[in-house]
Structure 1
Amino acid sequence: MLIKYLLLYTCLVLTISTQAQEVYEKGKILDSIPVSGTTDESFALYIPNGFKENELSSIVFIFEPAARSVIGIRPFIPAAEKYNHILVCSNNSRNSSYDRNFGIANNLFAHIFSHFNIKEDEMYLSGFSGGSRVACAIASLSNQFAGVVACGAGFPSVPDYKPSIQKYAYVGLVGDRDMNYKEMLKNKDFLQFLKFNNTLITYKGEHSWPAPEQISQAFDWLYLQKLKKAPSKEADEIKNLYLKAYKRIEEFKARNELLRASEQYERTIKTFQDFVSLDTLMQQHQKLLATKAYKKQATSFSNVLKQEEKIANKLKSRMTSDFENPKETNFGWWEKELAKLDVLEEKGDTNTKDMVYRIKFDVFARAYSRKNTLLYEENPEQTALAEQFIKLVYPKTE
């Protein structure tokens, strides 16, 4: 259903321009607009101050994993004002089945495309956590969107919902304490192997919506991808974005965050190579990679990731087994394993501390997800087990 609807978009857009658009207040989140043709679906809307009713507009569809539409829209407002994007976030799409979310998305698309004049080549998708996976699935199935901003999670497990030969640009955003951090690193390698147009922006943060600064950085990157496709006279804006990107490199180096500085070097070189000469920048990057300090940080980081893979897989396997046989759960074993993590955290460096945080939160998130799923099933033993795991990892303080 989703693919069929989006393939009709080109035909639909020809009729939209003759329809009168509704007038909405600009520069304000409007959080409960009913979706046409439904009885219980609504969305939040943000119209940038530069919006003009008689012109085609770019748009960002946002998917929030807990259907908190206002929370989903807020980080995007600075980017929306800069690039004049309409922002739309469903009040109904949440972590649930893909079919359910596709139906909600279809209804939302039908409403928006019949009420706004949208630029066919400037439609974007974004989401956080499970919403990120929904955004990627829609982009991959339809191949009708210019880009995806994937926050805090990568691709769905269904092969058809993953990128392959599609033409959209993909920006990953993830904090270094996010339990999906390693997944996003692997996704980057996967996309590089496919030669898929992508970048990954990492930052200090946990499993939550990125700050407006990171969202804006993602849309700066997407804007530059658009400029690569068509000749442009935006020389001053390109220069400003390049200087901003270079400033980030210098800031990372000043804080001795050499891995992140290298990441920023790579992104800057790849992004701006079509616009400016980068010989000096490439030489600087190679010089950084040759330093003892960088090699030491890279080795430490690699070792931590390997250690994380081993520990996380062991805990994941044990948790799966415990939920299959709740009565046989040995919490003494879990207490010992978590105590080992506490020791690692206490004695380890920053990378190790971040690793321990990710592992613990992953256990918590899996238990929390199980508990939410079990709310719709009568399985008191598994529900109690999920609650016990949650208390074990993050005991409440009085």
Structure 2
Amino acid sequence: MKKLLLAFFAFFSFCNIQAQEFRIVKGGVTDSLPIPGTGNKTYAFYAPTNYSVERNWPVVFIFDPKGRGSTTANLFRKAAEEQQYLVASANIDLKSEPIDSIIKTATSMMNSIFSAFPVDPALVYTAGMGEGAQVASALPMFYRKMAGVMAIGNSFVNQQYLDKSNPYMFIAVAGDKDYMVYQMEDYLRFYDDLDFKTDVYYFAGKEDQWPEAAVISNAMTGFSLEAIKKGSRSADKDFIQKLYQNEIAYTEQLVRTRNYYDAYEKLDRMEDKYEDFGFEDDIEERMKELKKTNGYRSQRRDFRQATSFEKQQIEEYEYLLRSDIMTANFQNIGWWAYQVDELDKLKKSSNEAKSNMAYRLHGYLDFLTKKQFDQIVEANIPIDTKIFISVLRTAIRKDDPEAYLKIISLAGADGDYETALLYLEDLLKTGYSDMESLYNIEGILDLQFTREYNQIIKKYLGESKFYNDEIEPEEN
């Protein structure tokens, strides 16, 4: 995505378009508003209950990987109502659109909002999750006055196209089970080194997940407080007090659920966030009290031990994976499968730090092997290496059909029908039911006409295209 974003950077800019009139519901999400010049593309929109055209409003543009505009707009609804933001959430399926189309649609949506609603041009923000976070964090290249970006689980960063004369706030949000958590912290360090204002939030979740509304609301306070510090929003004491109390309520909820270390870390970040607003003594007192809690020290120890082990394990995985791919070492497939089984067991651990670590490590292994799989299967290299990485993928991600289908294709085309049939059955055991695709696998036309191939399909799907006679009962 990064290369494509840079390739299309020069072709899209913001311009004035004819203002449109929209009928919206105050205090509710209005869905399917049209994006001009994009055919049938739409977005969902939220305006606070006291919305009026008599004042200019902050606005946040949201991007969800699956284009769930209304759903994501509702996630931001609490923050938008309490902190007075307009929300526009794109109904764009980012996984099925080319990047040039995505950027064009995103900028058209933003232009549409600027023309139709009273937006404060100095208080424009973007937010997104996964691929949506990459889009959200790329848009400051096109809208130079961007005030802030909230990136959840991913980001796009390129120093070459970063306008250091117009710094914006970068808020990173990561799930504690998401393998991208360390990458997000790298992004924070990148922006910190450039003296951009930053903040970070964590939530109980994995990759490709939105945090709950309360976490989003807490994160949005970063934008609001930074705007107040810069003088872009009025320093209303009651408003600031309400923001603070909402965040304190969240830390108290963490304490009630015995997440003492998480609560302490949250307060530690709040100390910098609420600097100069007069809450320092209260925050410090709360942190002192948490340190006295019985569970705090043990949770801190568990967290440090887990993260230390995790970093060592990541280095080991990376080294061994490179070695096994280079040698196409099929004998080590069992070792990788064992690692996944152990991680699955650890996910169920009562030790939350170890459980979260297991989710992150498994997610990282999934990411790492998928990246290698995508590169290797398209490369001009020996078939043994292609089959190896495909078999390894089935050990790492047992319910992902892509690798099974590739093994069937490679083995069948190579005349190894036994292996192809074995992985056909393994694929169907996962619950795979797209029969049409099983008869469109490249390179195995002869195999698809065999009785054995069709009877395996019928055994699991109830029917097959050929030899659709009764399957003979297996001998005892």
TM over 0.5: yes
Instruction: Give the structure 2 partner of residue 304 of structure 1.
Output: 306
Instruction: Give the structure 1 partner of residue 398 of structure 2.
Output: 391
Instruction: Give the structure 1 partner of residue 359 of structure 2.
Output: 357
How far residue 359 of structure 1 moved from its aligned partner, in angstroms, is: 1.6
Deviates more, 1:156-165 or 1:377-386: 377-386
Distance 2:374 2:236 in 1: 49
CA contact (8 A) 1:345 1:352 kept: yes
How far residue 125 of structure 1 moved from its aligned partner, in angstroms, is: 0.2
Superposed, 1:34-49 pairs within 5 Å as: 34-49=34-49
- Answer yes or no: is 1:146 the counterpart of 2:153: no
Give the letter aligned to residue 218 of structure 1.
Answer: A
Distance 1:22 1:393 in 2: 43
SS at match of 1:121: strand
User: Cα distance 1:391–1:277, how it changes in 2: closer, same or farther (>3 A)?
Assistant: closer
CA contact (8 A) 2:35 2:105 kept: no
- Answer yes or no: is 1:220 the counterpart of 2:227: no
Superposed, 1:1-398 pairs within 5 Å as: 12=16, 19=19, 21-53=21-53, 55-92=55-92, 94-95=94-95, 99-139=100-140, 142-153=143-154, 155-156=155-156, 158-160=158-160, 166-207=166-207, 208-230=209-231, 232=234, 234-276=236-278, 278-282=280-284, 284-285=286-287, 294-316=296-318, 330-342=332-344, 344-345=346-347, 349-364=351-366, 386=393, 389-391=396-398, 396=430
Distance 1:385 1:343 in 2: 20
Normalising by structure 1, report the TM-score: 0.79
Deviates more, 1:142-151 or 1:224-233: 224-233
Which one scores higher on RCO, CA 8 angstroms, separation ≥ 6? 1
CA contact (8 A) 1:60 1:87 kept: yes
Distance 1:376 1:42 in 2: 35
SS at match of 1:145: coil
Distance 2:252 2:379 in 1: 53
SS at match of 1:391: coil
CA contact (8 A) 1:360 1:393 kept: no
Distance 2:305 2:158 in 1: 30
CA contact (8 A) 2:60 2:88 kept: yes
SS at match of 2:398: helix
CA contact (8 A) 2:171 2:219 kept: yes
Distance 1:53 1:320 in 2: 59
Please list every run of 5 or more consecutive structure 2 residues that lacks an aligned counterpart in the other structure: 1-7, 402-428, 433-476
User: Cα distance 1:322–1:93, how it changes in 2: closer, same or farther (>3 A)?
Assistant: farther
CA contact (8 A) 2:340 2:396 kept: no
User: Cα distance 1:84–1:125, how it changes in 2: closer, same or farther (>3 A)?
Assistant: same
Identity of aligned residues (%): 23
Distance 1:392 1:330 in 2: 20
CA contact (8 A) 2:94 2:132 kept: yes
Distance 1:223 1:92 in 2: 27
User: Cα distance 1:185–1:233, how it changes in 2: closer, same or farther (>3 A)?
Assistant: closer
Give the letter aligned to residue 272 of structure 2.
Answer: K
Give the letter aligned to residue 107 of structure 1.
Answer: S
Please list every run of 5 or more consecutive structure 1 residues that lacks an aligned counterpart in the other structure: none
Deviates more, 1:219-228 or 1:91-100: 91-100
Deviates more, 1:230-239 or 1:199-208: 230-239
CA contact (8 A) 1:2 1:142 kept: no
Distance 1:292 1:84 in 2: 40
How far residue 157 of structure 1 moved from its aligned partner, in angstroms, is: 5.5
CA contact (8 A) 2:340 2:395 kept: no
Distance 1:213 1:50 in 2: 21
Distance 2:83 2:279 in 1: 26
SS at match of 2:397: helix
Distance 1:304 1:132 in 2: 27
1:110-141 Cα deviation digits (max 9, x unpaired)? 33333333210121100001211221122366
Instruction: Give the structure 1 partner of residue 446 of structure 2.
Output: none
Give the letter aligned to residue 82 of structure 2.
Answer: K
SS at match of 2:360: helix
Distance 1:372 1:292 in 2: 48
User: Cα distance 1:299–1:385, how it changes in 2: closer, same or farther (>3 A)?
Assistant: closer
SS at match of 1:124: strand
Question: How many aligned positions are there?
Answer: 390
Distance 2:238 2:157 in 1: 42
Give the letter aligned to residue 89 of structure 1.
Answer: S
